[in-house]
A = this chain, B = another copy of it.
Amino acid sequence: MIIVMRNGASNEELVAVEERIKELGYKPHVIHGDTRNVVGAVGDERGKAILQSLESMPGVENVVPILKPYKLASKEVKLERTTVVIAPGVAVGGDRLVVMAGPCAVESEEQILETAHAVKAAGATVLRGGAFKPRSSPYSFQGMEEEGLKLLAMAREETGLPIVTEVVNPRDVDLVAKYADVMQVGARNVQNFALLKMLGKIDKPILLKRGMSTTIQEFLMSAEYILSEGNQRVILCERGIRTFETATRNTLDISAIPVLQEQTHLPIIIDPSHATGHSSLVPSMCYASVAAGCDGLIVEVHPHPEVAVSDGPQSLRPADFKAMMDKLAEFAKVVGKKL
């Protein structure tokens, strides 16, 4: 932390700030500037948030954090990239791109089985599908709940694809864990710390989606919640951030890929479906994400998007998904990976 004193702050005010820094267990270090002084506080990075309160002291202009508040998620603690094993032969973060595909919501046995076979045939290695759906309207379809989980398990049985599905309520963690291979935390729950802490205690990979207005630093702090409870298998997922632009549902923050790679050892996948909101934009965003270096993709595929109960406009038809996968293999090759 750097504490910036006001121009004209008195010496007493400066001394009081130094004293308070010491009381909080840090070592103050004053730089005497031309027009004002600044004080660096040296010590353990993790608890430094408490130093923000110094802003309330007389003579202090503001307090500037200069270090990252996460530890376990950072490359300073673990340099080699993490590989998260999802199922035998399926791992995120290695030299194979992992493509997770399936419908937004599980709607029926027929729908999920048809989709599972189609995405498997096209090369997907994980099946996605929502059983608990967080919908902005209480009047929209809320998911098939445990019935949906059973259908997902049936689809896994038939195709061999491991399944990723969302959990929205801490109460349902055990229930969802009974069926899922990967537990998904949706964008709206990225700072649902009660849920994150519970997921930190189970032995399942966690797919953590970035929130619509979550900074990369906050995103890593949310990952840190899971890691600090003991679960090291966290997969990060960028899925678009909220901006002023309305041509797309959200704005895919593609530069989050290299930024995250500089800051964390955790693997990173991209959700181009929620990011764009329109299926015609999905393939090019898949190609771009792989070219930028992501470890995988999660893509919405529906056999009949025009009758989907949710997210129809952003779901690829199986044939379009297949065409996309074929092209994707070429990009994967350039980055030294395989599908």
At the interface, yes or no: A45 with Cβ under 8 Å from chain B?
yes
Interface contact B247-A217, CB-CB below 8 Å: yes
A2 partner, pick from B66, B225, B243, beta carbons under 8 A: B66
Q: Which chain B positions have C-beta within 8 A of A44?
A: 34
A247 partner, pick from B189, B259, B289, beta carbons under 8 A: B259
Interface contact B312-A56, CB-CB below 8 Å: yes
A53 partner, pick from B191, B194, B292, B307, beta carbons under 8 A: B307
A8-57 residues at the B interface, CB under 8 angstroms: 20, 29, 31-36, 38, 40, 42-47, 49-50, 52-57
CA distance A35 to B53 in the complex (A): 23
At the interface, yes or no: A64 with Cβ under 8 Å from chain B?
yes
Interface contact A42-B50, CB-CB below 8 Å: no
Interface contact A245-B168, CB-CB below 8 Å: no
Counted per complex, copies of this chain come to 4
A126-166 residues at the B interface, CB under 8 angstroms: 134-140, 142
Q: Which chain B positions have C-beta within 8 A of A194?
A: 168-169, 171
Interface contact B258-A285, CB-CB below 8 Å: yes
Interface contact B46-A285, CB-CB below 8 Å: no
At the interface, yes or no: A291 with Cβ under 8 Å from chain B?
yes
At the interface, yes or no: A212 with Cβ under 8 Å from chain B?
yes
At the interface, yes or no: A110 with Cβ under 8 Å from chain B?
no
Interface contact A193-B288, CB-CB below 8 Å: no
A221 partner, pick from B137, B228, B244, beta carbons under 8 A: B137
How extensive is the interface on chain A, given as a class?
35 or more
A163-194 residues at the B interface, CB under 8 angstroms: 168-171, 188-189, 191-194
Interface contact B66-A306, CB-CB below 8 Å: no
Identify 25 residue pairs between A and B in the complex whose beta-carbon atoms are under 8 Å apart, listed by A's number. A2-B66, A4-B67, A33-B40, A33-B42, A35-B45, A36-B67, A38-B40, A38-B66, A52-B313, A56-B313, A56-B315, A137-B224, A138-B225, A168-B193, A169-B194, A213-B244, A241-B244, A241-B245, A251-B253, A254-B285, A258-B285, A291-B291, A327-B334, A331-B331, A331-B334
- Contact surface of A with B, Cβ cutoff 8 Å: 2, 4, 7, 20, 29, 31-36, 38, 40, 42-47, 49-50, 52-57, 63-64, 66-67, 69-70, 76, 134-140, 142, 168-171, 188-189, 191-194, 197, 211-213, 215-218, 221-222, 224-225, 228-229, 241-248, 251-259, 262, 275-276, 278-281, 284-285, 287-293, 305-309, 312-313, 315, 327, 330-331, 334-335
